[in-house]
Structure 1
Amino acid sequence: MKNILKISLILASIFILIPSCDDYLDTLPDNRAELDTEDKIVKLLVSAYPNATSAMLCEYWSDNWDSHDWNLNYNNYMEDLWNLKDQPNRSGNDTHFRSWEYCYRSIASCNEALKAIEERGNPASLQAAKAEALIARAWNHFELATLFCLPYGETSSTDLGLPYMTEPETTVKPPYVRGTVEEFYLQLSKDIEAALPNIDNSIYTQPKFHFNTSAAYAFATKFYMAYGKFDKAIEYASKVLGNNPAQVLRNWKATINMSMDNTEQPNAYMAKNNPATLLMSYPTSGWSTSGPNNYSTGNKYSHSLLVAKYETLQSQGPWGNQNNIYVRTWWNSNTNKIFHKKVGYYFEYTDPVARTGFQHTGIVQFTTDEVLLYRAEAYILTKQYSKAYDDLTTFITNYTNSRPAYDDILKFYRDMPYYHYKEVYEDEIGLIGLKQYPTPKKTLHPPLYKIELGTDQEWLIHYVLHLRRILLMGEGQRWLDIKRYGITVHRRVVDKGHRVVDLKDSMDYLDKRRAMQIPQEIINAGCPANPR
């Protein structure tokens, strides 16, 4: 199958296989197996979930990562990512190419299932499977848009979208049109709305590995926040959270007494019997050892003490300092990394004697905590501040031992200086009494949301962004907030004393690189590249 890339854009992205892939997929599309029973159709949807994660590339492109030039522990891909290179070295499982390939491959499985269901006359017995195929197809497309498209906003009617695949591919080198972001999001919405009424947990033996009802509504919440449909986001978040959200949140206080080794906290975070865990996966990935864990790989580019102290895990908040957060922070000065231990490392032995196999990273795709913060954000953007405060209080009293008052939250972020990429002292700028430094409060340029800057609305948005950045550290989710709110990313070089000594690059809210470049192989196959 080495020549597929030369034949078709989508075939390139879907059907280039590695040896560990399912034999069924090896025969698609030209010698496809016959989906002649309902059971086969349902089982095909196991492959509707990509065996890849974009967590690594999204973290590296975000404002969570600095460069430590005195440390030489890194590889070429890490260097390319941190330098925002359009076509980074593509070796390994955590690359742009792998995300493109595996998402479109999963979309192909969804479309095969949908076609088989249609050919059987759309029986009632397959409506739940059809719903899973539709919601998984939408999710894979949304993941691709998060990487390779500009965020939804005022220019979406002209911004480049991606091919939205709704049919199995059966011809060689068909014409593919990228369309616009607006058209892409409209199709996403159609798939989501068609799926939601028919999601049925009873068809799953392991619901947390599929789009169960709560996971489907959690994804819909996240999508409609990106789409700017706040009423929809509130409606669907409420279906996940129920009448008493505190009952379905993660018990963060229980993590206080957990070991700081590499298994106990990640395993607890991934536990399928936890009501906060909605959808989970174990993709083939090296992220668990190269990123948010206490391994020595990738120390040059990392989430280090400087970021943590001023902006994330160790930063001050309305809740007080890091000691008031129930999740303990791990740091080792030898690795330049600081994080909460929740991204798990798992190894699949294909040859136990030779001790060879595949490294996996445990990823929780959706949680109730994240959904609660999205609903609070939607309430803020619709100026329902009392409801937003109730949700934020539910979250913060479960995540910390603090209960900040509404006015104290406003004052904290109103009085906080806006972010500066490094500490600037009086003698450097010739002014007395002025000192600038990094903070979580960054200038917002949202391409879609209409925020009244300098008001309670802005201060509450900073609170939500601050909380979500800490909550989801290491999971790649900060990248979506950067795009949605037009936050500038600085490429800082930090010395051994945790001081910024150079600024290599900046990516602001108008930078075209906010849409990562599509893989070169796909451009070579005839797909238009993202503008630069």
Structure 2
Amino acid sequence: MNIKARIKSVMLLIPMLTLLACEDFLSTEPDSTRASINSPKQVSQLLTSAYPQGGYVVFAEAMSDNVADKGTGEDDKTNRSSFLFEEAETSVDQQDSPDQYWAECYRAISVANQALEIISKMPDASLYSAQRGEALLARAYAHFMLVGFFSKFYDAQTASTDLGIPYVTEPETVVIKKYERKTVAYVYEMIEKDLKEGLPLISDGSYTVPKYHFNRAAANAFASRFYLVKKDYAQVLTYANAVFPGGNIGEYLRPWNTEYANLSPAELYNTYSRASQNANLMLVETASLYGRYVAQYRYGMNYRKWQEISESEQIAGPTASWAYPLYSQGDNNYLIPKLTEYFVRESVNAEIGFPYVMLPVFTVEEVLFNRAEANAFLNNANASLADLNLFASKRLNTYSAANHSITVAKMRTYFGSTDVTSNLVNTIIAFRRVEFVQEGMRWFDIQRFGLTVSHTTREGQVITLPKGDPRRVLQLPQSASLSGLEKNQR
């Protein structure tokens, strides 16, 4: 698999139908052209490439409050510029960069659109309903991620005037094609349309390995995330509960304080991003160096930062402690063994190749938090507390319900507030932070809640980004702005 196999257009990017997924994880797409794709199986193979094979974790994590300037370490341009909230002068070929992620999202969108076009021309399109559902969900997801990074984050009060990103619904068949930036509200309307139309069509039986695609559980998890951003909490509950119709979500949570506690770092790496793990609802293969440098980036997690992140264990009481295993790679380079690199050789006998990371983009833990947050805002405090305690039972060392239960009284003591809803939501935010550390997820909560981020350089410069600061929005790639798309304000 060649991550450099990209066809650049002046605006977005036209994908190559010959981009193959790694045989270790995904089946390959047809080596023929669109004209010879004439069966549901071949369309399914094409759709293996309808997911962004670029990583967002490096820049999302570096922009968050999970990192500090360690003074020394791997000097990566994206890691550095993201921490400093400067425009990363990179290209679409630069692994882990915003530009590559933009390109990969639009490549994935174009593959989804090609699949939809093929299906529309089939004599009996009803035979392709599962493939149509996957294509619509994949298109919605890529646009959702793009608008979350490259536009002002969704706010119902301003979405109708905030600049969105191009929502592309047709295959790119020309090198130069003009697009326009409509509003964030428009993009969300289109995402919702694709989501609602595609989700009922998803069929797990159409996949060899469902977790490498939009299976039913992952599609409902995506819907719960989408409506959480829109603050439509009733819908969040509907879709979160649909992930586990039997209500047995607890047995799918990662067993950090039991099974995982006995694993070595190597074993954790081999476990965390596997399709066999119940907690993983959907995995996406990303071309990334993150697994290699996660602990070594200059702007990363040091021990003091981990103490700040993990402090939320005290919400459960003075004897509570998280079961997450903290390891170091040299002085002040800390990590929790999660995402690791797998290396794909350019050919069987080649000495060179490309690094990849399998990224869990939807997990059971996220669904649990989404449900807990929705219940908190709907004043269902007991239901929210039940989910938080379920989470704590899988995460705290030597967990004891008698000693470690999350209660209204404990939250009041910890936060110094009598507002039950506020305390519940702040607990969820704190628990999400520690659960998804070094996975890039913290940035979405920072944006959703308008949390201020402050970064202090080793030289003493303090960079503060309050809610509304234009630097919280990634700049469009140069190729897009040169073609006429309006750049984001700075």
Q: Compute the TM-score of the two structures, normalised by the length of structure 1.
A: 0.83
Residue 88 (structure 1) aligns with: 89
Structure 2 SS opposite 1:167: coil
2:100 pairs, out of 86, 98, 101, with 98
Cα distance in 1 for residues equivalent to 2:163 and 2:453 = 22
Shift of the 322–223 alpha-carbon distance from structure 1 to 2, 3 Å rule, reads: farther
Letter in 2 for 1:525: S
Cα distance in 2 for residues equivalent to 1:347 and 1:171 = 34
1:197 aligns with 2:200: yes
Shift of the 248–215 alpha-carbon distance from structure 1 to 2, 3 Å rule, reads: same
Query: Counterparts of 1:24-423 in structure 2 under 5 Å?
Result: 33-69=35-71, 71=72, 73-90=74-91, 92-121=94-123, 123-153=125-155, 154-171=157-174, 173-242=176-245, 243-252=247-256, 253-260=258-265, 263-291=266-294, 293=295, 297-298=296-297, 300-310=298-308, 312-313=309-310, 316-320=313-317, 324-332=321-329, 334-351=330-347, 353-400=349-396, 401-402=399-400, 403-415=404-416
Structure 1 SS opposite 2:152: coil
Cα distance in 2 for residues equivalent to 1:167 and 1:321 = 57
1:323 Cα shift? Answer: 6.6
1:517 Cα shift? Answer: 0.7
Structure 2 SS opposite 1:318: helix
Cα distance in 2 for residues equivalent to 1:348 and 1:488 = 39
Shift of the 76–405 alpha-carbon distance from structure 1 to 2, 3 Å rule, reads: closer
1:315 Cα shift? Answer: 5.3
Q: Percent identity?
A: 29
Cα distance in 2 for residues equivalent to 1:212 and 1:485 = 29
Q: Is the 8 A contact 2:113 2:171 kept in 1?
A: yes
1:320 Cα shift? Answer: 4.3
Cα distance in 2 for residues equivalent to 1:375 and 1:8 = 42
Structure 1 SS opposite 2:90: coil
1:487 Cα shift? Answer: 0.6
Shift of the 196–322 alpha-carbon distance from structure 1 to 2, 3 Å rule, reads: farther
Cα distance in 2 for residues equivalent to 1:186 and 1:480 = 20
1:171 Cα shift? Answer: 4.3
1:197 Cα shift? Answer: 1.0
Q: Is the 8 A contact 2:14 2:175 kept in 1?
A: no
Cα distance in 2 for residues equivalent to 1:322 and 1:355 = 51
Q: Is the 8 A contact 1:241 1:248 kept in 2?
A: no
Letter in 1 for 2:183: T
Letter in 1 for 2:474: M
Structure 1 SS opposite 2:315: coil
Superposition RMSD in Å: 2.7
Shift of the 355–321 alpha-carbon distance from structure 1 to 2, 3 Å rule, reads: farther
1:4 Cα shift? Answer: 6.5
Q: Is the 8 A contact 1:313 1:329 kept in 2?
A: no
Following TM superposition, the consecutive aligned residue runs of length 4 or more in structure 1 with deviations greater than 6 angstroms are 1-4, 16-27
Structure 2 SS opposite 1:283: strand
Shift of the 182–26 alpha-carbon distance from structure 1 to 2, 3 Å rule, reads: farther
Cα distance in 2 for residues equivalent to 1:165 and 1:121 = 25
- The C-alpha deviation readout for 1:196-220, integer Å capped at 9, x for no partner, is 1111000101111111110111111
Shift of the 3–363 alpha-carbon distance from structure 1 to 2, 3 Å rule, reads: closer
- The C-alpha deviation readout for 1:235-284, integer Å capped at 9, x for no partner, is 00001133222122222221111113xx2102211221222111112321
Structure 2 SS opposite 1:343: coil
Residue 25 (structure 2) aligns with: none
Q: Is the 8 A contact 1:52 1:283 kept in 2?
A: yes
Cα distance in 1 for residues equivalent to 2:486 and 2:336 = 40
Shift of the 76–17 alpha-carbon distance from structure 1 to 2, 3 Å rule, reads: farther
Cα distance in 1 for residues equivalent to 2:21 and 2:391 = 40
- How many positions carry a matched residue from both structures? 473
Query: Counterparts of 1:13-24 in structure 2 under 5 Å?
Result: 13-15=13-15
- Structure 2 residue ranges without an equivalent (≥5): 23-27
Is 85-94 or 229-238 further displaced after alignment? 85-94
Q: Is the 8 A contact 2:341 2:355 kept in 1?
A: yes
Shift of the 168–110 alpha-carbon distance from structure 1 to 2, 3 Å rule, reads: same
1:361 Cα shift? Answer: 1.3
Letter in 1 for 2:465: M
Shift of the 477–122 alpha-carbon distance from structure 1 to 2, 3 Å rule, reads: farther
1:317 Cα shift? Answer: 2.4
Shift of the 504–25 alpha-carbon distance from structure 1 to 2, 3 Å rule, reads: farther
- Structure 1 residue ranges without an equivalent (≥5): 417-453, 495-500
Shift of the 412–52 alpha-carbon distance from structure 1 to 2, 3 Å rule, reads: farther
Letter in 2 for 1:247: E
Structure 2 SS opposite 1:282: strand
Cα distance in 2 for residues equivalent to 1:222 and 1:171 = 34
Q: Compute the TM-score of the two structures, normalised by the length of structure 2.
A: 0.90
Structure 2 SS opposite 1:192: helix
1:381 Cα shift? Answer: 1.5
Cα distance in 2 for residues equivalent to 1:341 and 1:175 = 44
1:335 Cα shift? Answer: 3.9
